[in-house]
Structures are given as C-alpha cells and as structure tokens.
Amino acid sequence: MTTRLDVRFASCASEGRAALVTFVTAGDPDYDTSLALLKALPEAGADVIELGVPFTDPMADGPAIQAAGLRALKAGQTLRKTLAMVSAFRETNDGTPIVLMGYYNPIYIYGVDRFLKDAKEAGVDGLIVVDLPPEEDNELCLPALLAGLDFIRLATPTTDDKRLPAVLANTAGFVYYVSITGITGAATPKPDVVAQAVARIKRHTALPVAVGFGVKTPEHAAAIAAGADGVVVGSALIDALRATLDADDKATPATIPAVTRLVGALAEAVHGVRRQAAE
C-alpha cells in the first residue's frame, strides 16, 4: 500500500533533495491560530508535518515543547480537537502527510480502536508515540499498521546494530533518527556523526531516514540534510512562535508569519542541498 508518506518521500528523493519535516504543537497557542498555521506550513515549504499531541507529562521533551503543550491544554486542546484539526486541514490539502507525535496515555484513554478509526478518517498518515518501544508493539503499533496508518519508530544513538532490526521490524513511512541522547531542543548534533548513523540505519532498511532533535538553524538543517532523507525541526519553530505571543500567551498578528518565515528559510536551506546520500 502506498501512503502519502511514501509518495512524498519518493518525490523528494526523485528531486534529489531531503524533505523538511516541521513540528508544531496542536492547539498552541489556541485552536484557530494553530489550524491557520497548519494550513500555512506546506505553502511555506514544509514537506511533511508532525503535529504534536499535547500531554501534561512529556518526558522526552525539552522546555520549549513542554511549554507549548501546556499552552495548548490551557486553551482547551484535546485529542478529539487535534483530530478535528487534521480533518479541517484535509479540506484544502490532500497531499501533505501529517504525522501525529505524542505520548500513549491520551490515545489509550481515547480507546485504541476508536482512535485509529477516527485518525484514519481525519486524514492522519502516521503516528510517532514516544513511549511505545518495540517491546510494547501489541499496544498500538500492530493495530495501527492493520488500520493502514504508518507507525514511525524512533531510532537513537543507543540503538545498536543488535537492537536495530527489532526497532525497524514494524516501522513504516520513515525512520525517525533521534540525533542526540537527550530531550527535544537540547544539544546540537554533529552533521558528520549523524550522516554515519543514518548510513548505518540504511544498511538495515529501505525506508527513508529523517533526523530530528536539536536542529535549530537553516545552516544546521542544511548540513544535516546532506546526509539524511529528511530533517525534522520542532523546538526552533516553537521558540519562534512563543516569541510573538503577548504577555498572556495569546497569539498576535506576528505569530503565523514568524513561524512561516523560519519554515521558508529552513526549506530553502534544506532543499538547496543536493543530497549526498550515504547509501
């Protein structure tokens, strides 16, 4: 089965470039602004959208994404509204893949079967659930694959060659390589080290490999893109968004342009690099 993610990564590859994967938190700082931003991302240059599902206890996230989640929750964001946001996005965009990224508990409480059905109907393409390693595949990964949703697994610097096959076994869409041992938005990964890691993963899989965690500037994104099929930028976009909020954390007219401007610069940098894929 060919999915939106397959199509998009294949299309980027045929153009000889890496994909820009942008992360924003659903409902940050409020539903309407967040939906407008979501709709503006593809135009600004995002190839794939990761939509963060807010959670009170995001244990793998740094301060920027933690705060974004809390702003969204305070503004009333729920998993149901996040799915509604994807449906609304699909009314005008059928091509850009959307991957939900979050933690398991909100999905577990929503009910796995109901969630997968509603997510598929809404137009979600894939799931990244940080706290579901392969050891817990029965929970969501296998049912998601059956329901036709890609389950995107994280591989990390601690995932050695022995463990890698287990991590890749039920992965679909792409592999998300976490470039550092740490939380989102923390240390800056070194492009040459990342390129070697990507090459190592690609020896085990034909799936595209996107790299995230700690990628902050267009220059940095371009350097990472030289050795990967995709680059994920999250905390830097959230920081740009936060910088435009008023004293009460409300959106201002500067909010959406600030994020799309940065996405534009990132896209130009990432797309400008002829990918020197290591395969």
Partner 1 sequence: MNVPNSFRTGPDESGHFGIFGGRFVAETLMPLILDLEKAYNEAKADPAYKAEMDAGLKHYVGRPSPLYYAERLTEHLRAKSEPGKGAKIYFKREELNHTGSHKVNNVLGQILLARRMGKKRIIAETGAGQHGVATATLCARYGLECVVYMGAVDVSRQAPNVFRMKMLGATVVPVQSGSKTLKDAMNEALRDWVTNVDSTFYCIGTVAGPHPYPGMVRDFQSVIGNETREQMLEAEGRLPDSLIACIGGGSNAMGLFHPFLDDPSVKIFGVEAAGHGIPTGEHAASLTGGRPGVLHGNRTYLLMDDDGQIAEAHSISAGLDYPGIGPEHSWLHDIGRATYISATDEEALAAFQLVAKLEGIIPALEPAHALAKVADLAPTFPQDHLMVVNLSGRGDKDIPQVADILGTRL
Strands 175-178 and 209-212: parallel
Q: Active-site residue among 28, 47, 50, 125?
A: 50
For partner 1, give the closer residue by CB, 81 or 120: 81
Strands 154-155 and 48-52: unpaired
CB 181 within 8 A of CB 156: yes
CA distances to 62, 234, 256 from 57, rounded to whole Å, are: 11, 18, 26
Task: Give least dist CB 65 to partner 1, A.
Answer: 11
Task: Give least dist CB 54 to partner 1, A.
Answer: 8
Q: Which residues bind partner 1 (CB under 8 A)?
A: 54-60, 62-63, 66, 73, 78-80, 103-110, 130-136, 153-160, 163, 167, 178, 181-183, 186-187
For partner 1, give the closer residue by CB, 69 or 218: 69
For partner 1, give the closer residue by CB, 9 or 55: 55
CB 110 within 8 A of CB 135: no
The arrangement of strands across the sheet holding 209-212 comes to: 150-151, 126-129, 98-102, 48-52, 19-25, 230-233, 209-212, 175-178, 154-155
Q: Active-site residue among 6, 30, 61, 125?
A: 61
User: What is the C-alpha separation between 83 and 81, in angstroms, rounded?
Assistant: 5
Task: Give least dist CB 68 to partner 1, A.
Answer: 13
Task: Give least dist CB 156 to partner 1, A.
Answer: 4
Judge whether 139 counts as a catalytic residue. Answer: no
Judge whether 61 counts as a catalytic residue. Answer: yes
CB 103 within 8 A of CB 56: no
For partner 1, give the closer residue by CB, 183 or 241: 183
Residue 155 CA to its chain's centroid (Å):
14
Active site members: 50, 61
